[in-house]
Homo-oligomer: A and B are copies of this chain.
Amino acid sequence: MRWWGWGEDGHEVAMPEPAAAILRDELGTDESMRRRPVALEEVRLPEPRLSAAARERLAGAVGADHVRDDRGIRVAHAAGRSYPDLVRLRSGDGSSAPDAVVLPGSAEDVAAVLAACAEQRVAVVPFGGGTSVVGGVEPVSDGFGGAVSIDLHRLDRVVSIDNMSLTATLEAGLSGPQIESALAAEGLTLGHFPQSFEYSTVGGWVATRSAGQASTGYGRIDELVEGLWFVAPAGEVGARPLPASAAGPDLRELLVGSEGVLGVICDVTVRVRRAPDARRYEGWWFRSFAEGCEAFRVMEQADASPDVARVSDEEESRFSLAFASANSVVERLGRAYLRARGRESGCVAIVGFEGDADDVERRRVRTGALLRAGGGVALGRRPGDLWLRNRYAAPYLRDELLDRGLLVDTLETAATWSGLDGVYRAAIDALRSTLADRGTPPLVMCHVSHLYRSGASLYFTFLARQEDDALAQWRAAKQAASDGIVAAGGTITHHHAVGRDHARWMRAEVGEMGLELIRAAKERLDPAGIMNPGKLLPSE
């Protein structure tokens, strides 16, 4: 992965003129704002602070070859991939880099690293794909004798696959493509496709309670975890792979979502499915976001949801259409639809079905009837196929937008159906008024992308002209939107996790006694407090 952005070189996303026109005309960007990241050699890194004793203990734990502190690896582990992370990295700020990166090869190695760090009071950041967008992997070392990232990529074995029970035990460092490739060889799939799929790891998914683009159908990662093996400084916890149990509190759910502050997920047993024979993705249009949401609610509550279900609001539909003009068919379809109805706007939805061919067809017909009854108009397969082809493209596009001097970030939440509109309006209003007041009126877009019988998620994207103090501008927008979401009854995060950026809203989320319960678990598992400091829990 490029140290200052997303992915590898050669995946640059072209900006079609209609989209560039929106940025220029509505946000006020111009070519003079173009900027590029500094060179790697120019990144300012602090001197490594690990004591000789600490380095020696770490080398003893994993071998000297697996304790690294060269410039490239330190910068690559200095931050996740959030907007503020990239703003800082592109400007050459590597102040948060770890003092070293440790690469264990087994759960035993992980235990040895944690023992060494607890003894030497070195902070530890578990690091999978490093794709956190909430500051989850940025080392925080105040009060410690340094910080190390424990990079889990060497934990990359497929431990076992149970074809009869449809489960697979995977080491934590396996990435999305590695997992799907190993499962495909057995005719299986996990079906977990977050936007970070190409780089993120199963350990990271479980640590952050991830949802994927197809989680409406395949289930969130927390629903897919059957068991796990967890190594903490104070010892090990195993949640045995079981389909269900009534044996007390579900401790698995205390470790899922623990974001590295309790320990390190070393392997996970996940529930898998037979790989689909058929895939069918379609576009639909609705007259308004409200109409689309209501149709989706009826569909979900009739147990008729597709595997992928997303509906964009008017602004996101307009921007998507401007983008899709590169693909003239979709643009023509959209414009034709609008013209035929004498209207200028509408909302695009994507529904996707995966399974055996008969099953896909049966579900598609039933779902289609409900969407049509809810006011939807079918646009056929082309918009669906286009979405599928570009499903991981947004983070690449973000690099292009950063190059153009834009603030670009996303926020996500979930709420009950009856609360959804209130949360939607609260976030939109907060972003618009905060950024307009600063003289940088934004473009704010939203879609619903995960359906539950009782509610849905909302995913916001906002763009604005970048101020000189880009981080202050971002912090103001983030704070206002998060306050608005929480006050309106939404969760502070539906799938990005808490990390550093959402920690201050955790008190509102789980209450004081809820925080106490997490702290009680932390004190028991991590008595020295070395695990991922500054994340998940608000400062006391």
**B418 and A164 contact, CB distance less than 8 A:** yes
Residues of B within 8 A of A226 (CB): 454
Q: How far is the CA of A246 from the CA of B249 in the complex (A)?
A: 19
What 1/0 flags go to A241-269 for Cβ under 8 Å of B?
Answer: 11111111111111111110000000000
Asked if residues B167 and A235 are in contact (CB atoms below 8 Å), the reply is: no
Shortest CB distance A312–B (Å): 20
A90 within 8 A of B: no
A131 at the interface (CB under 8 A from B): no
Report if A478 contacts B (CB, 8 A): no
Q: When A253-B253, A517-B521 are in contact, do A496 and B418 touch as well, CB less than 8 Å?
A: no
Whether A498 contacts B247 by the Cβ 8 Å rule is: yes
| A11-19, A370-378, A502-510: which lies at the interface | A502-510
* A interface secondary structure, majority: mixed
Select the residue from A239, A454, A494 with max chain B CB neighbours within 10 A: A454
Chain A 516-527 interface mask (CB, 8 Å, partner B; 1/0):
111111011100
Indicate if A342 sits at the interface (CB-CB under 8 A): no
A491 to B: closest C-beta gap in Å: 4
| B491 pairs with A247, CB closer than 8 A | yes
Contacting residues, chain B, for A234 (C-beta < 8 A): 513
Q: Report whether A455 and B242 are in contact in the complex, using a CB–CB cutoff of 8 Å.
A: yes
Our pick among B245, B297, B512 for the contact of A164 (Cβ within 8 Å) is B297
> Is A120 an interface residue, CB under 8 A from the partner?
no
CB contacts (< 8 Å) of A248 on chain B: these are 209, 257-259, 497-498, 506, 509-510, 518, 536
> Is A140 an interface residue, CB under 8 A from the partner?
no
A238 within 8 A of B: yes
A517 near B509: Cβ-Cβ < 8 Å: no
Number of copies: 2
A502 to B246, CA, bound (A): 11
Number of A residues contacting the other chain (C-beta, 8 Å)? 87
Chain B residues whose CB sits within 8 angstroms of the CB of A518 once the complex forms: 248-249, 251
* Contact, CB under 8 Å: B457 / A244: yes
Contact between chains at B521 and A249 (CB < 8 Å):
yes
Establish whether residues B450 and A513, one from each chain, have CB atoms under 8 Å apart when the complex forms.
no
Contact A164–B417 (Cβ < 8 Å):
yes
A396 at the interface (CB under 8 A from B): no
**Would A416 and B167 count as touching, CB distance under 8 A?**
yes
Q: In the bound complex, what is the Cα–Cα distance between A236 and B516 (angstroms)?
A: 11
Q: Is A301 an interface residue (CB 8 A)?
A: yes
| A470 contacts partner chain B, Cβ-Cβ < 8 Å | no
Asked if A251 meets B514 with Cβ closer than 8 Å, knowing A167-B454, A241-B416, A242-B416, the reply is yes
Could you list 5 A-B pairs, sorted by A, with CB under 8 Å?
A: A166-B301, A237-B513, A246-B491, A517-B524, A520-B520
